[in-house]
Structure 1
Amino acid sequence: MPSNLRWMRLRPQELALIAITAVWGSTFLLVHWAMQHSDPWFFVGLRFLVAGLVSILIFRHSLRGMRWTDIAAGASIGVMIYGGYGLQTLGLQTINSSTSAFLTALYVPMVPFAQWIFFRKRPPAMAFLGAGLAFVGLLLIAGPDAFSLSLGVGETVTLISTIPIVGEIILISVFAGRVDLGRITIVQLLTAGLLGLATMPFVGESLPAFDWAWVIAGVGLGIASCIIQLTMNWAQKSVSPTRATIIYSGEPVWAAVIGRIAGERLPAAALVGGLLVVLGILASELRIVRRRSRGGSGEGHTPIRG
């Protein structure tokens, strides 16, 4: 049974995920700048409250039909957003971005197995290959400094942040198509924002002095976060968690591109890493197609996704 590889076209949902990943990656410099003027939990709270308010303006007519199902789904995803973004931001206070990128990248190979466990459906073999290529690419982008690890507080909380990141991607796919898009977006963003602010007194944070730096960054990233979460909720109705994760792994590639435009010099290993991430996305688009003859009736085509 000879087999060949067949390309599948990128669908609008996948193109949308690629677009928000570019936006996602381009926000790195803005977050880094904001952390010089604000504490992490306040900023996470501000960012997602702004995002929630923007989503209310967009979907205000959907609020009338809010159901407990929408609230439960949105709140569970919101908890994951709060945990992932909050812990990652907290970790960046004590570790460099290369180490953070390396540790956070661990969520990429975790998602295919999580999808297998929660959906009882093994992802295609090419999806595992794509995730593997993307993960190796992320390691190269992170650079050699990322491997000089001593498990301090920053490294530990960043490692823990990968769990809610995986949870967010899985839960979005679980609830996609079962709840109203507008309602779940509103609830998850407001949940993440309120939890961020509620964490402040427990970690000793206080309101920062007024500064246009965190105001502009918070509002800008809030609007971006609303667009990102809305697109994820919509696109993952038809894009699997593994496939979506491979696309999301392009985030540091876009961050590197923006950094290069801003004047940063990229080492050769980082360029190779970016190429591997792109190859991972392309590899996950391949489908193995086996040809076999059918009892004298000629040759038929049986696509095997694997």
Structure 2
Amino acid sequence: MTSKASNAFSFKLSKAEIVLVLITMIWGATFLLVQQAMSVSGPMFFVGLRFAAAAGIVALFSWSRLRGLTLFELRAGSFIGFAIMLGYGLQTVGLQTIPSSQSAFITALYVPFVPLLQWLFMGKRPGLLPSLGIMLAFTGLMLLSGPTGASLDFSPGEIATLISTVAIAAEIILISSFAGRVDVRRVTVVQLVVTSVLAFAMVVPTAEALPGFSWLLLASALGLGASSAVIQLAMNWAQKSVSPTRATLIYAGEPVWAGIIGRIAGERLPALALLGGAMIVLAVIVSELKIRGKSADRPAAPLSGEPTQS
């Protein structure tokens, strides 16, 4: 018995997207470890130490491949590393004069900045469902930052944080732009080294005091360095097939996982923050929905104009 088929929604994460979800969970779980490390070190020195450890770990397992490093990979890794450090550095500078809730509110702007920059500089306009996902994720991140973060008067700290969001968006776009044209391990080592060197260089202009030796600092740097190595390798690999817009929506779940870990550790999130977290999860689901018709044998065209993912 036949009947006229109607359009249906399907939801499916690719293998690369599942990897990004897993590293976002790791990302969120490192929040408490970073807080502990900040009790024995300044932020810029610790970022430099952490990324130096990450570079050493990746280089250790990629030594034979490093001999084939090309000028293009060196340039790609340098651009990505510069964007990573600019994002970390300016956000840290901003946190010296503005509260963390306000920093979180401003940083959330990187979510709509990614598709906007893609549209302006690469001519790639996101489709309907990804655009709806972006709006949901941005709203969710604003709710997570709390009502005290929404007050802006464009102070130097706020401007520095605002520029950092552009750097974060640029990092995501650059990774996708170079992915597929570089060796993942080689470019990861370069970007980690560049990030570390620039972070150490930031210690001077920020007048940060150098910490003394601490086993907590060493253990934190090695542990978080290992997590950074895994995260950066996975980002460079997965974004070969995952568009910057979809990757951004997955990365937006980082504060959600951080909140879950924090709750396990005894912290309690307000109701608005819980609603914000739910909206971010919904944003990922909505952005991954695809409309398909059962009446045709051929697959539906992608909504966003982006390549289909395996």
TM over 0.5: yes
Please, which of 120, 135, 139 is the counterpart of residue 136 of structure 1?
Answer: 139
* Between 3-12 and 124-133, the greater mean CA deviation after superposition: 3-12
Distance 2:294 2:135 in 1: 27
Task: Map 1:216-231 onto structure 2 (within 5 A).
Answer: 216-231=219-234
Distance 1:209 1:3 in 2: 67
Indicate whether 1:254 and 2:257 are aligned: yes
Indicate whether 1:164 and 2:167 are aligned: yes
Task: Map 1:50-129 onto structure 2 (within 5 A).
Answer: 50-129=53-132
Distance 2:218 2:232 in 1: 21
Q: Secondary structure at the match of 2:67?
A: helix
Distance 1:255 1:152 in 2: 28
Distance 2:126 2:250 in 1: 15
Task: Map 1:4-83 onto structure 2 (within 5 A).
Answer: 4-83=7-86
Q: Deviations over 1:23-42 (max 9, x none)?
A: 11112222222223222221
Would the alpha carbon gap of residues 240 and 265 (structure 1) be closer, same or farther in structure 2, given more than 3 Å must change? Answer: same
**Structure 1 spans left out of the alignment, 5+ residues:** 293-298
Would the alpha carbon gap of residues 83 and 183 (structure 1) be closer, same or farther in structure 2, given more than 3 Å must change? Answer: same
Distance 1:96 1:28 in 2: 17
Do the aligned residues in 1 keep the contact of 2:84 with 2:195 (CA within 8 Å)?
yes
Would the alpha carbon gap of residues 16 and 224 (structure 1) be closer, same or farther in structure 2, given more than 3 Å must change? Answer: same
* Between 93-102 and 253-262, the greater mean CA deviation after superposition: 93-102
- TM normalised by structure 1 equals 0.92
CA RMSD across the alignment? 2.0
Q: Secondary structure at the match of 1:7?
A: strand
Indicate whether 1:193 and 2:196 are aligned: yes
Please, which of 205, 208, 211 is the counterpart of residue 211 of structure 2?
Answer: 208
| Residue equivalent to 1:296 | none
| Residue equivalent to 2:237 | 234
Distance 1:255 1:187 in 2: 28
Distance 1:122 1:290 in 2: 24
- TM normalised by structure 2 equals 0.90
**Structure 2 spans left out of the alignment, 5+ residues:** 304-310
* AA of the residue aligned to 1:165: I
Distance 1:87 1:66 in 2: 30
Indicate whether 1:303 and 2:306 are aligned: no
Residue 121 of structure 1: CA displacement?
A: 2.4
* Between 191-200 and 276-285, the greater mean CA deviation after superposition: 191-200
Distance 1:198 1:237 in 2: 31
Residue 169 of structure 1: CA displacement?
A: 0.4
Residue 270 of structure 1: CA displacement?
A: 1.1
Distance 1:104 1:3 in 2: 41
Would the alpha carbon gap of residues 115 and 204 (structure 1) be closer, same or farther in structure 2, given more than 3 Å must change? Answer: same
Q: Secondary structure at the match of 2:291?
A: strand
Distance 2:262 2:229 in 1: 23
Q: Secondary structure at the match of 1:210?
A: coil
* Between 254-263 and 121-130, the greater mean CA deviation after superposition: 121-130
* AA of the residue aligned to 1:181: V
Q: What is the number of residues matched between the two proteins?
A: 300
Identical-pair percentage: 53
| Residue equivalent to 1:295 | none
* AA of the residue aligned to 2:28: G
Distance 1:3 1:132 in 2: 27
Do the aligned residues in 1 keep the contact of 2:10 with 2:292 (CA within 8 Å)?
no
Residue 44 of structure 1: CA displacement?
A: 1.4
Would the alpha carbon gap of residues 29 and 153 (structure 1) be closer, same or farther in structure 2, given more than 3 Å must change? Answer: farther
Distance 1:178 1:119 in 2: 17
Q: Deviations over 1:172-231 (max 9, x none)?
A: 011000011110000000000011112222332342122233322222211111110000
Residue 123 of structure 1: CA displacement?
A: 1.9
* AA of the residue aligned to 1:305: P
Residue 300 of structure 1: CA displacement?
A: 6.6
Would the alpha carbon gap of residues 119 and 181 (structure 1) be closer, same or farther in structure 2, given more than 3 Å must change? Answer: same
